[in-house]
């Protein structure tokens, strides 16, 4: 059965810290892995990764995929209180549907 | 400039009632989805439509019936609501069925009392 597991489930840090969020997966006919940020409302798209070893970067956020070991990490450097959110990892197989992990709740304290 | 919109945002109703949630996207996408997010924040797909045609139908009670009058709209009708249906329901869309990147609506928080 396809599944996505994220760790840790929750994390509390202080502003300025660097955090690493983990996502491991098992999926039939892997096509891509996506990261979303969910604050109070809709999940918003962060990254889509399809190839191993190629880092995607957006400001203080970066992510990389390892298709051999079946995992991805999301790094946030110099965290700010505005980074507080649930970070969702999802994997797409060839059916078009996204399988989501249970999310990591990040709280950044001032 | 709303990309994916849902109405209503909040819905409080009693057990046994029938209710509908509407979704519209103005992105020109071919594929739309309904997800359910439970109290533990776990997002799970329910249905997917591609160009008005049902392509994904997960194990969902048949009290839930999606309807897509055109490719820009995907509505969700729920009959005989139960307490366990309380959740946040998200609509999403993607360019086509092969595209992984999905754009989510703001969600509808359904509370069944």
Mutate to test the interface with B, among A3, A9, A96, A100 (most CBs of B within 10 A): A96
Q: pLDDT-based confidence at B99, cuts 50/70/90?
A: confident
Residue B1: its pLDDT value, please? Answer: 62
Does the distance separating the beta carbons of B101 and A45 come in below 8 Å? yes
Residue A103 has pLDDT above 90, yes or no: yes
Give pLDDT tens digits for A53-102.
Answer: 889 999 999 999 999 999 999 999 999 999 999 999 999 887 778 899 99
Does the distance separating the beta carbons of B33 and A43 come in below 8 Å? no
Query: In order of start, what are the domains of chain A with their CATH numbers?
Result: 3-109 (2.60.40.10)
Cis peptide before B8 (omega within 30 of 0): yes
Which residue does chain B place closest to A50, by CA atoms?
A: B100
Classify A82 as helix, strand or coil: helix
Q: From CA A30, how far away is CA A85, in angstroms rounded?
A: 27
Q: From CA B100, how far away is CA B110, in angstroms rounded?
A: 27
Which residue does chain B place closest to A38, by CA atoms?
A: B41
Give pLDDT tens digits for B40-96.
Answer: 888 999 999 998 888 888 878 899 999 999 999 999 999 999 999 999 999 999 998
Q: Residues B4-18: what's their mean pLDDT?
A: 96
Residue, of A51 and B11, whose pLDDT is higher: B11
Separation in Å, CA of A30 to nearest CA in chain B? 11
Structure tokens at B8: 């209503």
Classify A17 as helix, strand or coil: coil
Residues of B in contact with A97 (CB under 8 A): 33, 45, 48, 56, 58
Q: pLDDT-based confidence at B23, cuts 50/70/90?
A: very high
Q: From CA A4, how far away is CA A102, in angstroms rounded?
A: 8
Query: In order of start, what are the domains of chain B with their CATH numbers?
Result: 4-112 (2.60.40.10)
């Amino acid at each position: 059965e396809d599944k996505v597991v994220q760790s840790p489930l929750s994390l509390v840090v202080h502003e300025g810290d660097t955090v690493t969020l983990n996502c491991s997966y098992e999926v039939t006919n892997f096509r891509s892995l996506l990261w979303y940020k969910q604050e109070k409302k809709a999940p918003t798209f962060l990254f889509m990764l399809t190839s191993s070893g190629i880092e995607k970067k957006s400001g203080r956020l970066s992510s990389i995929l390892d298709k051999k070991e079946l995992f991805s990490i999301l790094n946030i450097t110099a965290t700010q209180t505005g980074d507080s959110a649930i970070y969702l990892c999802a994997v797409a197989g060839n059916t078009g549907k996204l399988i989501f992990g249970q999310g990591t709740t990040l709280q950044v304290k001032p | 400039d709303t990309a994916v919109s849902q109405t209503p945002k909040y819905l409080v109703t009693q057990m046994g009632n029938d209710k509908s949630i509407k979704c519209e996207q103005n992105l020109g996408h071919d594929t739309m989805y309904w997800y359910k997010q439970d109290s533990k924040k776990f997002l799970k797909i329910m249905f997917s439509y591609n160009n008005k045609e049902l392509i994904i139908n997960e194990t969902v009670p048949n009290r839930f019936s999606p309807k897509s009058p055109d490719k820009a709209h995907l509505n969700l009708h729920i009959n005989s609501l139960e307490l366990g249906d309380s959740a946040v329901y998200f609509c999403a869309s993607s360019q086509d069925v092969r595209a992984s990147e999905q754009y989510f609506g703001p969600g509808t928080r359904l509370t069944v009392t």
